[in-house]
Structures are given as C-alpha cells and as structure tokens.
Amino acid sequence: MIDRRSFLVLGLASGVPPLRVSYADPFTLGVASGDPSPDGFVIWTRLAPAPLAEDGFGGMPAAPVPVYWEVATDPACAQVVRRGTEEAVREWAHSVHAEVAGLEPGREYWYRFKAGTYVSPIGRALTAPPPASLPKSLTLAVASCANYQHGHFTAYSRMAGERPDLILHLGDYIYEYGRGEMPCPGGNVREHEGPEARTLTGYRRRHALYKTDADLRAAHAAAPWVPIMDDHEVRNNWTSLLPAERREAAFRAYYEHMPLRRASVPRGPMITLFRRLRWGRLATIHMLDTRQYRDPLVCGAGFDTCPESREPGRTITGTEQERWLLEGFRESRALWDIIGQQVFFGQRDRRRGGEKLVRQDAWDGYSASRTRVTRGWLDAGVRNAVVLTGDVHSHWAGDLALDYDDDASTLVGTELAVTSVTSGGDGRDHDRARDALVDGNPHLKFHLRRRGYLMVKVEPTALVADFKVLSYVSTPGAAAHIAASFAVPDKIPGLLRRP
C-alpha cells in the first residue's frame, strides 16, 4: 500500500510548498517512463483533474504548479534515491517530463509524483545495462494501432502483466477520426469524443480520452516505453505536404502525452523522434520516423504498379535520417541491431504476371530507399538485423532479402510485424487477400489477422518472437495466447518456426 503520509512529509521537507488546491485528483491520466539510458530515464505525468474539459486544459487553473517526484529502489517507494521538482505550466497542458540521472545501470526502479495534496500511482522503470556489458536477455513488448472506437485495450493490460523490459509502440497510439467516423466492421464498441482532431485542443482531448483507459495506463506504469509516431497521431497517410498548423498542433499534443526527452520537444511543425537506444552489447534499437521526412506519394497509398515510385532518388526516411541510420550501423558493436519503425519493410507483391503490384504507402513505394538501408547494414557488417513493424493490423513474419525478384538472393535479415491492439475489431483467422500474399511471396512465412501484440526475447544466441493474440476485443477481458512462435539464430538469417 502507498504510504501517502510519508510521501507528503518528504515533499514538504524537500521544499515543495503546500498548495491550496481547488481541483480534484490531477493524476487521472496515470504515469509513464521512457527512453532509458544506463544512468536514468524520463518520467512523465500530466495534471488533468477533468481530462476531457472542452478547452483542452484538463480542468487545471492557469497558474504553474510545482510537481514533486521521487525515484526509489523498491515498489513501495520507501527507499528513495532521487527526488526533484518540475514546474507544470499551462503552455504545455501541465505535462511533466523529468529526466532522471545519476542512477545505477541495469536495474529496476519505481517512481511517483505529488501535486498539492495528491499523490500519483507508482510506476516501474529500468535503466539500461552498462555499455560494455553483455546482458543475458532483453524482453520487448511491441504494439501498434489502438483505435479506441474499435475495441477494448485488453492487449495493453496483458502485455503489462508480462513485465517486459521495454514496450516499443510503433505508431497509431491515437486515431484522429471524429465520433462515428471510419467505423469498425460490425459497429463501434465505444466512441470518440467530438469531431475529428485537427487543432491543439482537439488533439489534447483525444490523447486524454485514450489515457482514461485503465488498460493503457497499466501498460505505461508497467515498463519504460520507447514510442514512435505513425500517421493517425496526425492524419491518415499524411506527409510533409500537410499544412504546418495541423502538424504543429499534433506534434505538440503528442509530446505533451508521451514519456519523451527534451530532445523531442517540437519546434513548430517539426519534431525529432528518430533516436537510438543501446542495451549493453546485446542490442542496439534504432527507432525510425518514416512519416515526417518521406517524399510524397506519387500513385496513392494503396497497391499499385507505379514505376515512378521506384525512382532511385526517392526516400522514406529523408537524407539526414538515412545518414544517421547508416552511421549507426557502422558504429554498432551489438549482437542484434533492431530497427523499430512504422510501415511494412519487405516486399509484398500482389501481381499475377505483369508488373509489380505493391503497397505504395510502405517501403515498397520507396524501394530504392529500402535497398540503400539494407545494403547499409550489410556493408557495415551488422551481425543480426531485425526489423519491427507496425501499421498493418495483422501479425506477419518474413525473411528479408537484398533482391526480392531473385529467388537465389541471400537472406539478410528478419521482419516481425505486429498486429493492432484494436484497429479492425475482433479480426479473423483467415484473410483471403493477405493469405494470397504469403502464397505469392516465398520470403513471407506467417500471417494472422487477429488483435494482439508481440513479445520478443533477445539473447546472445537467438531472438525468439511470440505472436500473441486475443480472441476478441469487442468486449473486455480476453486472454492472450501464442498463435505462432519463431526463432532467429545468431548469425543465421532466416526464420525458424518453433513448435
């Protein structure tokens, strides 16, 4: 049980002035941690006693509020090792991003906040291992695509119960659609508040709505998050051609509601989200932004032949991010280089004779960019390359090749694509169009259109991926079970199906 009295005393002893508050409990949106380093991590909360207030400010007064935080070595927060104060201001919707440093590497910590007389829930965080160490393992939970209207967020609570070291969220954390728009097959389970999010107020209210979900709050409190944005945090299939005002509003609200470091503070219509996280010598995680810097689509977002999209100069990452990624490959000494990103990386060709018929919104629509990145990790001598992908609302497992049109092309890596948390509703066991993609593309090994998440265990000798599914999301409480499991042995590209 939380010893609230001792925490209040600690707060006062640390110079946090008592407040005469006129608002209710402000910690309705929970707590979160993220982006761990060997000596610390960022911890987050947002004060919002009325999270869906129409002005987007969560029911908070205009004045700044001092928020006290503490980090401890035990789950009850009795053994405090770091504490401090951050000022929550109206300009940033009274969100708090405290970057904690000076901690021991490679261990668990717990944290909480205090504002006025109120104390937050406790969250669990981890520091990364020492840079020169070789950890025994790294456990990742991977998720994407959580449409509030399409189902319950049970998958979040199930992954929280597995106590991963990190949760990688690969995009579509919220959906921008208005109430009743883009309904789920069979009807929406619950509804968004108000019209499509287009303004800062609209995006703030949408993020707040999602965080009123207890399952999502549980996942944030369970482990550090490493999130990246896709399209629905802004608008479906957006590119840099989207008006700057809307991008600025969406990016600001995203930062306000995520455990991101100061390096990701948005600057107008730009936000820096690509970054790198190292887990000792075991793994390097490269998080990519494939939305903000990509060249515009030339033949729409769907499946198309589109020879123009295969022009050699086209990029899905932008020149600066591509250079950063290739430098990261060259500098990496990790056993496993893991690329976390949004859209399908390997080829998915629907043709039945004739020209390629591939999805233009994915790396297939930027095939020259894919070749440069793939050749980059080969030229750098990356030991094991694994791409983790969101967006597709289905579980996929596939091998990666340098040339997908050459059946004899050497395998060069692995792609594991995670299904949606809810988007698309309960799903089904078979999907004729996507099953045909597996049949027509020999490097694709598995597909399943159910909801769920991905659990990845990285060890020095192998990476094991368990594709977790839930039988339903239209009602809460479904159990999670393993639909398929694959192993990738060290230095042997190619998926092995596990019994």
The verdict on 164 and 88 lying in the same domain is no
Is residue 3 situated within a structural domain? Answer: no
The verdict on 108 and 167 lying in the same domain is no
The verdict on 364 and 464 lying in the same domain is yes
CA distances from 357 to 35, 115, 348, 366, 405 (A): 38, 56, 8, 13, 13
Q: For 41-60, what is the mean pLDDT? A: 97
Mean pLDDT of the chain: 94
pLDDT at 428: 87
* Range in 104-108, 145-149, 441-445 the model is least confident about: 441-445
CATH code at position 342: 3.60.21.70
Is residue 10 situated within a structural domain? Answer: no
User: Please, what's the largest Cα pairwise distance for the chain?
Assistant: 75
The verdict on 183 and 283 lying in the same domain is yes
pLDDT at 472: 97
**Which residue reads 């004899």 in tokens?**
408
Q: For 460-473, what is the mean pLDDT? A: 98
Is residue 160 situated within a structural domain? Answer: yes
Q: What is the pLDDT of residues 167-199, one digit of tens each?
A: 999 999 999 999 989 999 889 999 999 999 999
Of 156, 118, 123, the C-alpha closest to 41 is: 123
Q: Which of 110, 128, 146 is the last residue of a domain?
A: 128
Length of the chain: 499
The verdict on 291 and 179 lying in the same domain is yes
The verdict on 389 and 487 lying in the same domain is yes
Q: For 402-431, what is the mean pLDDT? A: 92
The verdict on 192 and 179 lying in the same domain is yes
* Range in 124-138, 298-312, 421-435, 477-491 the model is least confident about: 421-435
Q: What is the distance, to the nearest Å, from the Cα of residue 203 to the centroid of all Cα atoms in its chain?
A: 18
Q: How far apart are CA 446 and CA 168, in angstroms?
A: 21
Residue 36, judged by CB atoms within 10 A of its CB (0-12, 13-18, 19+), counts as buried
Q: What is the pLDDT of residues 354-373, one digit of tens each?
A: 889 999 999 999 999 999 99
Residue 21 pLDDT level (bands cut at 50, 70, 90): low
The verdict on 33 and 99 lying in the same domain is yes
Q: What is the pLDDT of residues 238-258, one digit of tens each?
A: 998 999 999 999 999 999 999
CA distances from 211 to 84, 206, 339 (A): 25, 9, 27
Q: Which residues, including other chains, have CB under 8 Å from residue 141's CB and lie 6 or more apart?
A: 159, 162, 164, 166, 167, 168, 223, 453, 454, 455, 456
The residue range of the domain holding 369 is: 131-497
Q: Which of 83, 108, 128 is the last residue of a domain?
A: 128
Q: For 410-428, what is the mean pLDDT? A: 96
The verdict on 189 and 328 lying in the same domain is yes
The verdict on 113 and 187 lying in the same domain is no
CB 100 within 8 A of CB 71: yes
CA distances from 458 to 63, 227, 265, 371 (A): 46, 19, 31, 26
CB 164 within 8 A of CB 454: no
The DSSP line for 326-368 is HHHHHH---SEEEEEESS--S-----SSSS--EETTSGGGGHH
The verdict on 266 and 220 lying in the same domain is yes
The verdict on 301 and 219 lying in the same domain is yes
Is residue 263 situated within a structural domain? Answer: yes
Is 163 in a helix, a strand, or coil? coil
CATH code at position 110: 2.60.40.380
Residue 151 Ramachandran class (φ > 0 left, ψ -120 to 50 alpha, else beta):
left
Q: What is the tally of structural domains in the chain? A: 2
Q: What is this structure's pTM?
A: 0.94
Q: What is the pLDDT of residues 330-345, one digit of tens each?
A: 999 999 999 999 999 9
Is residue 1 situated within a structural domain? Answer: no
Is residue 455 situated within a structural domain? Answer: yes
Is residue 11 situated within a structural domain? Answer: no
Q: Which of 101, 128, 155 is the last residue of a domain?
A: 128
pLDDT at 7: 45
Of 311, 390, 315, 305, the C-alpha closest to 349 is: 305
